[in-house]
């Protein structure tokens, strides 16, 4: 009889341990899901102090070149002008890519917090496909 009680006690202890492990795994899973970064609103200002007209502006994660849609739509940022864009962004940094009227690209990476500003100067390095 004592052996049966000991076996039942060990079985109950194992069962409780497995339940505890399952609860812990579920808690960790839910915590990591709730810790996922939700898209936040970002107010991004681009100031064009160059001699080029900026015709397209794209955003991408800092670590890749998968640009999103043109943020300027059918408008542009003329020389000496600024444009503030309100966008949703879910990462800590954002790559901004500008295309000028010559089809040349310029880019920078900024922190996606606060109200980042990118000032494009006339001495900016342009990638014109050369």
Encode pLDDT of 66-105 as tens digits.
899 999 998 999 999 999 999 888 889 999 999 999 999 9
User: Could you give the number of structural domains in the chain?
Assistant: 2
Band (pLDDT 50/70/90 cuts) for residue 32 is very low
- Range of lowest pLDDT (12-16, 29-33, 63-67): 29-33
In a domain, 129, yes or no: no
**Claim to verify: residue 46 and residue 82 sit in the same structural domain:** yes
**Claim to verify: residue 91 and residue 109 sit in the same structural domain:** yes
What would the DSSP string read from start to end of 77-117?
B-TT-EEEEEEEE-SSEEEEEEEETTS-EEEEEEESSS--E
How far is Cα of residue 105 from the mean position of the Cα atoms in its chain?
Answer: 21
What is the domain-level CATH number for residue 114? 2.60.40.2890
Q: Which of 75, 124, 77, 67 is nearest to 97 (CA)?
A: 67
Phi and psi torsions of 99, nearest 5°: -120, 130
Query: Which token pair is 114?
Result: 């606060």
In a domain, 130, yes or no: no
How many Å apart are CA 39 and CA 71, to the nearest integer? 17
**Claim to verify: residue 106 and residue 57 sit in the same structural domain:** yes
**Claim to verify: residue 49 and residue 22 sit in the same structural domain:** no
Q: Which helix (H) or strand (E) holds 46?
A: strand 40-49
**Claim to verify: residue 16 and residue 45 sit in the same structural domain:** no
Q: What percent of the chain has pLDDT over 90?
A: 55
Query: Which token pair is 70?
Result: 């043109």
**Claim to verify: residue 45 and residue 64 sit in the same structural domain:** yes
**Claim to verify: residue 52 and residue 100 sit in the same structural domain:** yes
| Cα 113-115-117 angle, rounded to 5 deg | 115
Mean pLDDT, to the nearest integer, of 25-46? 66
In a domain, 126, yes or no: no
In a domain, 127, yes or no: no
**Claim to verify: residue 32 and residue 47 sit in the same structural domain:** no
Containing structural domain, residue 74:
40-121
């Amino acid at each position: 009889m004592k052996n049966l009680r000991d076996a039942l006690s060990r079985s109950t202890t194992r069962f409780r341990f497995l339940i505890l492990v399952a609860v812990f795994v579920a808690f960790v899973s839910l915590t990591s899901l709730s810790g996922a970064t939700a898209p936040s609103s970002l107010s991004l200002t681009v100031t064009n102090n160059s001699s080029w007209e900026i015709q397209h502006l794209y955003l991408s994660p800092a670590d890749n070149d998968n640009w999103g849609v043109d943020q300027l739509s059918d408008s542009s940022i003329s020389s000496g002008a600024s444009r503030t864009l309100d966008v949703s962004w879910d990462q800590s940094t954002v790559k901004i890519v500008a295309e000028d009227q010559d089809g040349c690209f310029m880019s920078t990476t900024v922190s996606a917090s606060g109200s980042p500003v990118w000032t494009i100067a006339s001495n900016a390095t342009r990638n014109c496909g050369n």
